[in-house]
């Protein structure tokens, strides 16, 4: 029997009054995958995640987490899921330890306290202070510990590194990678493209409540537009380059240099350049951030 | 549910101690004053003729002021629904929605706990807190009976507590229901409070003006027995009030099951029961 995906969403719609937050979202995340969910504020990332946990009820569509319907069997799903909300609020009168012990009690005391201590130590989280005296970053660390402490099979993380310093951000990404190595699936939303690029195997881009792209992170970057700055030993005829499908001349200097935009694979361009008196070639690989922005800028014009 | 119950009761402990000890001390003081009052019967009889009957209508049968049940009713039980009603309304209206407004419910409901268990745990904590406060009041009334001669048994004093408790449950559950219908906890508490005060005045004025009697039948405090309860509760009234409290509680339960949990802040006027 084939194992069901860790996360399966089909035709998910959700409206808040007249505002349509989700307009038919389809997603499939395989078990053991790290999946990045990208989109600007208000695109529908948080609404999707909150529907997954049955915190809000979709207008239509189906959801299965680890093969379970969260609306009909919410408790079963939540036993297997670790959740970090985008806006984390914890009773401010708790101490850090008090809050974590309360969360453990909500898990039916089935959490190994020494594992909690290890996580806290790795994130440099002091357990003594009262939560109302903590900075945003330290509260976020509590959020991460509570999401990971019961070794969930599926992690739903909404902006996990928000407000953390770079060292702790890196540690959180390590924890995410380790969770995957231990068999967990990670579904996380983020604004920080570099971290998505660093850990996510696949990404989905959501725009105005619709998924506009689902792809492997690598291939998304590979097939995106990139720029090539070419210098020649002497002025050359650029027509062979212009004739290559997907290649566009952006600017042309004195005939000895040219800035090209390349869509897709570089192979044809490199072959053409090999027949020319090439002096220097610099290519710029776009970051996920540039691709993301491109999606938004281009699609917004189309929309 | 046990964890939710324990945690909620822990959060209510300030209110329990504050209201409980405060009212227990007041009760001790009042019972201790009974003998000096009773020994001044002729002055008090003269005094009660001076008080306007409009005022006395709110405090029960003034003719029985010098009886133990009349004294306790006028000095304590007659206005307790208003005093402890504040606790019941504030606790009921905040039972679920407070955590939603401060954003903590989002995380709690991501844990393996059903909405029914969360509702049940918190509702039981509210019930327990109310009963503990009433127990403090009862103790405050019965402890001075060790040194004050008062012709009432401990059980007889417990009966008006039951009548009071049912009123508190009714208004607490009304506030809980309204908190899930109205946009905010603040508005639910305010509306329930206004209904409580209106009920108090309508019931009192109906004793002076017969025209108000049909309206007063809709008022929960019309069925409150601060004085008569010492010698037996009106079972039908108790059942009716209890049933009304349960209806509000069940409606609140139903609304909570269907509710979209907010991330924080107050909500809007959208009708939550129309959601899927």
Best of A41, A68, A91, A94 to mutate (most B CBs within 10 Å, chain B): A91
Please indicate if any CB of chain A lies within 8 Å of the CB of B274: no
CB pairs under 8 A between A and B: 72
Share of chain A above pLDDT 70, in %: 91
Query: In this complex, which of A58, A76, A106 lies closest to B108 when CB atoms are compared?
Result: A106
B164 Cβ contact list (under 8 Å, min separation 6): B77, B80, B81, B84, B134, B224, B226
Q: How many residues does chain A have?
A: 303
Token pair, residue A145, equals 């510990």
In 3D, which of B244, B249, B275 has the Cα closest to residue B262? B275
Contact B111 A103 (CB under 8 A): yes
Token pair, residue A10, equals 């089909």
What are the E-state strand segments in chain A?
7-16, 19-29, 34-38, 60-65, 81-84, 154-158, 185-190, 202-207, 210-216, 226-232, 247-252, 257-262, 278-284
Please indicate if any CB of chain B lies within 8 Å of the CB of A157: no
Q: Residue B152 pLDDT more than 90?
A: no
Please indicate if any CB of chain A lies within 8 Å of the CB of B112: yes
Q: Using CA coordinates, name the residue in chain B closest to A79.
A: B112
Q: Which residue shows structure tokens 């917004």? A: A300
> How distant is the Cα of B162 from the closest Cα of chain A, in angstroms?
34
Q: How many CB atoms lie within 10 A of CB A142?
A: 23
So what's the ipTM on this one? 0.76
SS3 content of chain A, % helix, strand, coil (to 5): 35, 30, 35
Q: How many CB atoms lie within 10 A of CB A158?
A: 23
How far, in Å, CA of A209 to CA of B66, rounded? 73
Please indicate if any CB of chain B lies within 8 Å of the CB of A265: no
Strand-by-strand arrangement of the A34-38 sheet:
A81-84, A154-158, A185-190, A34-38, A202-207, A210-216
Residue A228's pLDDT is 84
* Averaged pLDDT, B65-70: 78
Please indicate if any CB of chain B lies within 8 Å of the CB of A79: yes
Please indicate if any CB of chain A lies within 8 Å of the CB of B114: yes
How confident is the prediction along chain A (303 residues), in pLDDT tens digits per residue?
467 898 999 999 998 888 888 898 999 999 999 999 988 778 888 899 999 999 999 999 999 999 999 988 999 999 999 999 988 899 898 999 999 999 999 998 888 899 999 999 999 999 999 999 999 889 999 999 999 999 999 999 988 888 888 888 889 999 999 999 999 999 988 877 777 878 888 989 888 888 888 888 877 776 667 788 888 888 888 888 888 888 888 888 777 888 888 877 778 888 888 888 888 888 876 666 667 776 666 655 554
Residue B63's pLDDT is 66
* Averaged pLDDT, B116-130: 95
Contact A53 B109 (CB under 8 A): yes
The per-residue pLDDT for range B252-267, each reduced to its tens digit, is 999 999 888 877 665 6
* Averaged pLDDT, B232-249: 91
How far, in Å, CA of B276 to CA of B264, rounded? 21
How far, in Å, CA of A145 to CA of B222, rounded? 54
Q: Using CA coordinates, name the residue in chain B closest to A86.
A: B263
* Averaged pLDDT, B43-52: 70
Residue A289's pLDDT is 66
Is the alpha carbon torsion for B141, B144, B150, B155 positive or negative? Answer: positive
When the pLDDT of each residue in chain B is averaged and rounded to a whole number, the result is 86
- CB contacts of A152 in chain B (<8 Å) are none
Please indicate if any CB of chain B lies within 8 Å of the CB of A50: yes
In 3D, which of B177, B166, B162, B161 has the Cα closest to residue B92? B177
- CB contacts of A85 in chain B (<8 Å) are 106-107, 110, 263
- CB contacts of A53 in chain B (<8 Å) are 109-110
> How distant is the Cα of A65 from the closest Cα of chain B, in angstroms?
13
Please indicate if any CB of chain B lies within 8 Å of the CB of A53: yes
The per-residue pLDDT for range A24-38, each reduced to its tens digit, is 899 999 999 999 998
How far, in Å, CA of A78 to CA of A63, rounded? 14
Q: What residue spans of A53-150 are helical by DSSP H?
A: 74-80, 96-106, 113-122, 136-148
Contact B113 A106 (CB under 8 A): yes
B210 Cβ contact list (under 8 Å, min separation 6): none
Query: In this complex, which of A86, A106, A143 lies closest to B111 when CB atoms are compared?
Result: A106
Residue B122's pLDDT is 96
In 3D, which of B254, B265, B266, B264 has the Cα closest to residue B107? B264
Whole-model pTM: value is 0.81
Residue B275's pLDDT is 46
Token pair, residue B145, equals 């009976």
């Amino acid at each position: 029997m084939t194992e069901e995906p860790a996360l399966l969403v089909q035709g998910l719609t959700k409206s808040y009054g007249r505002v349509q937050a989700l307009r038919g979202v389809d997603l499939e995340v395989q078990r053991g995958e790290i999946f990045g969910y990208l989109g600007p504020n208000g695109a529908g990332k948080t609404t999707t995640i909150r529907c997954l946990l049955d915190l809000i009820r979709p207008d239509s569509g189906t959801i299965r987490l680890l093969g379970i319907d969260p609306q009909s069997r919410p408790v079963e799903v939540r036993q297997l899921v670790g959740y970090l909300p985008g806006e984390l609020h914890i009773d401010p009168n708790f101490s850090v330890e008090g809050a974590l012990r309360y969360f453990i009690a909500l898990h039916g005391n089935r959490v190994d306290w020494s594992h909690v201590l290890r996580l806290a130590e790795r994130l440099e989280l002091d357990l003594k202070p009262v939560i109302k005296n903590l900075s945003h970053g330290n509260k976020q660390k509590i959020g991460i510990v509570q999401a990971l402490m019961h070794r969930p099979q599926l992690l739903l993380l909404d902006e996990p590194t928000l407000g953390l310093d770079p060292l702790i951000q890196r540690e959180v990404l390590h924890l995410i990678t380790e969770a995957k190595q231990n068999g967990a699936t990670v579904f996380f939303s983020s604004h920080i493209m570099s971290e998505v690029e660093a850990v996510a195997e696949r990404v989905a881009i959501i725009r105005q409540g619709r998924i506009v792209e689902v792809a492997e992170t690598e291939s998304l970057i590979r097939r995106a537009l990139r720029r090539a700055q070419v210098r020649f030993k002497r002025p050359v005829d650029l027509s062979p380059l212009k004739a290559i499908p997907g290649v566009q001349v952006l600017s042309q200097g004195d005939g000895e240099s040219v800035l090209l935009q390349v869509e897709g694979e570089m192979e044809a361009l490199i072959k053409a350049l090999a027949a020319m008196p090439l002096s220097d070639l610099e290519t710029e690989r776009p970051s996920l951030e540039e691709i993301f922005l491109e999606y938004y800028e281009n699609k917004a014009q189309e929309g | 549910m046990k964890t939710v119950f324990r945690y909620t009761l822990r959060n209510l402990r300030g209110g329990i101690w504050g209201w409980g000890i405060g009212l227990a001390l007041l009760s001790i003081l009042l019972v201790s004053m009974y003998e000096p009052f009773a020994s001044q019967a002729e002055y008090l009889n003269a005094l009660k003729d001076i008080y306007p009957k409009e005022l006395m209508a709110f405090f029960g049968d003034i003719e029985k002021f010098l009886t133990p049940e009349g004294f306790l009713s006028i000095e304590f039980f007659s206005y307790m629904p208003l005093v402890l009603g504040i606790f019941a309304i504030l606790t009921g209206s905040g039972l679920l929605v407070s955590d939603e407004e401060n954003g903590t419910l989002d995380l709690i409901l991501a844990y393996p706990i059903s909405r029914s268990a969360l509702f049940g745990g918190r509702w039981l904590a509210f019930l327990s807190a109310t009963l503990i406060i009433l127990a403090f009041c009862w103790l405050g009334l019965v402890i001075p009976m060790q040194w004050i001669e008062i012709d009432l048994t401990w059980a007889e004093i417990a009966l008006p507590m039951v009548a009071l408790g049912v009123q508190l449950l009714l208004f607490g559950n009304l506030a809980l229901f309204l908190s899930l219908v109205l946009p905010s906890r603040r508005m639910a508490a305010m509306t329930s409070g206004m209904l409580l005060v209106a009920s108090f005045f309508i019931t009192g004025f109906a004793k002076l003006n017969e025209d108000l009697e049909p309206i007063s039948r809709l008022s929960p405090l019309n069925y409150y027995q601060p004085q008569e309860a010492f010698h037996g509760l009106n079972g039908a009234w108790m059942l009716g009030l209890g049933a009304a409290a349960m209806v509000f509680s069940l409606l609140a339960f139903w609304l909570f099951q269907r509710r979209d949990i907010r991330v924080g802040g107050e909500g809007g006027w959208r009708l939550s029961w129309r959601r899927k």
